[in-house]
Copies of this chain bind each other. A is one copy, B any other.
Amino acid sequence: MELAARKQKILSAIVESFIRTGEPVGSKTLISEAGLDVSSATVRNEMADLTNRGFLVQPHTSAGRVPTAQAYRYYIDNIMTAPPLSQSGREYIESALYQNADSPESILQGAAELISQLTDLASVASTPSGDDSRVHRISFVQTGSHTAMAVVIASNGIIKTKLFRCEFIITPEILEVFDKALNEVFTGVRLSSINQPFIQTAAARFGELSLFMPGVLTAIMEASKAAREISVCHSGYTRLMFIPDIDFLTARGVLEFLNNEHDLAAMLENLPIDTSVSIGAENSRRELALSSVVSTRYTIDSKPSGVLAVIGPLRMDYSRAISILEAVSETVGALIGELTDIQQ
């Protein structure tokens, strides 16, 4: 649905004013702010029409208008632009993220913190899915007389460790046998296929050696599972409680949802590849019916991977959020990509 130029200009002015002030916008305020060359009565007629068409609502008869989710949608799709960040902004982001560019997890944790700090909203960042990654190598480190650590290095750069325990006394020689035998079986195998049946088949191959292996095989399975699973970094959850638009019950619902990593990961998983904005009821989760989620996926070697997102009120600065997310996304993708390239 396209709007006439003047209607669009009025809608735009209302949305921008409301995003800035949070106050319902009246016809008089509007002409003084938007520089329209018509009278307030004309604006009122237009506003009445926009209200009929579902772009605006009045909290009550004698209040100004407030944009609906539909208005934000129209504004974002047809009016708003999100210009790339300035050079200095990008440089700031790069240097901030470069601080702890050790592992994908630490990069993403840093990204979540940075995004939250820059937008003053809650932010989340999910690790790349490891579903089509493979085992690059498995190593072992002795940690005690009966305990050792399995280190699963995945081809996507994720490294997961898991401790295990043996009934017998562990020696460097035993770990070397494990290393040789298990890398023969596991190297190059897709993480997603390392499950209980796979482990059992593998154990069978080792003959009597497998009697020594239940602990280590379980550890490998669990580390592989952890390497495959998406984990979600986050930052700034409490910032949501400082946003005047968000009332207590809404904040509580959103925070409860965000703290449930399982549901959150599932939602992030279903977000589209491109930068996208989900406004209010457009969100798949009922808890977010009064919030907006702006998200984008970072790409590693031009393959869409994990999600970066901010969660905030409907009345947020979408343009700024998108610009920041896209800038951070670019750097995150590059940093993780580098990490993976080097490790291969």
Q: What is A's interface to B at a CB cutoff of 8 Å?
A: 102-103, 137, 139, 141-147, 149, 151, 153, 159, 161-163, 165, 237-238, 241-242, 248, 251-252, 255-256, 259, 342-344
Asked whether, in the complex, the Cβ of B159 is within 8 Å of the Cβ of A149, the reply is yes
Which residues does chain B contribute within 8 Å of A165, judged by CB atoms?
342
Give bound CA distance, A252 to B153, whole Å. 40
Report how many copies the assembly holds. 2
Instruction: For A163, give its contact among B103, B139, B142, B255 (CB under 8 Å).
Output: B103
Query: Other CB < 8 Å A-B pairs besides A139-B141, A139-B142, A145-B343, 16 of them?
Result: A137-B142, A143-B153, A144-B342, A144-B343, A144-B344, A145-B344, A146-B342, A147-B342, A147-B343, A149-B159, A161-B161, A237-B259, A238-B252, A238-B255, A241-B248, A241-B255
Asked whether, in the complex, the Cβ of B255 is within 8 Å of the Cβ of A342, the reply is no
Asked whether, in the complex, the Cβ of B143 is within 8 Å of the Cβ of A343, the reply is yes
Residue of B nearest to A151 (CB): B141
21 CB-based A-B contacts, threshold 8 Å: A102-B162, A103-B163, A141-B141, A141-B153, A143-B151, A144-B342, A145-B343, A146-B342, A147-B342, A147-B343, A149-B151, A159-B163, A165-B342, A237-B259, A238-B255, A238-B256, A238-B259, A241-B248, A241-B251, A241-B255, A241-B256
Asked whether, in the complex, the Cβ of B159 is within 8 Å of the Cβ of A143, the reply is yes
Chain A interface mostly = mixed
Which residues does chain B contribute within 8 Å of A143, judged by CB atoms?
151, 153, 159, 343
Residue of B nearest to A252 (CB): B241
* Distance from A98 Cβ to chain B, minimum over Cβ atoms (Å): 13
Give bound CA distance, A142 to B138, whole Å. 10
Give bound CA distance, A341 to B260, whole Å. 35
Residue of B nearest to A247 (CB): B248
Give bound CA distance, A334 to B145, whole Å. 19
Shortest beta-carbon contacts, A-B, top 10: A144-B343, A139-B141, A241-B252, A102-B163, A248-B248, A238-B256, A141-B151, A238-B255, A144-B342, A143-B153
Give bound CA distance, A165 to B252, whole Å. 43
Give bound CA distance, A153 to B149, whole Å. 11
Give bound CA distance, A92 to B326, whole Å. 48
Which residues does chain B contribute within 8 Å of A259, judged by CB atoms?
237-238
* Distance from A22 Cβ to chain B, minimum over Cβ atoms (Å): 18
Which residues does chain B contribute within 8 Å of A163, judged by CB atoms?
102-103, 159
Residue of B nearest to A239 (CB): B256
* Distance from A271 Cβ to chain B, minimum over Cβ atoms (Å): 23
Give bound CA distance, A343 to B166, whole Å. 12
Which residues does chain B contribute within 8 Å of A255, judged by CB atoms?
238, 241
Which residues does chain B contribute within 8 Å of A256, judged by CB atoms?
238, 241
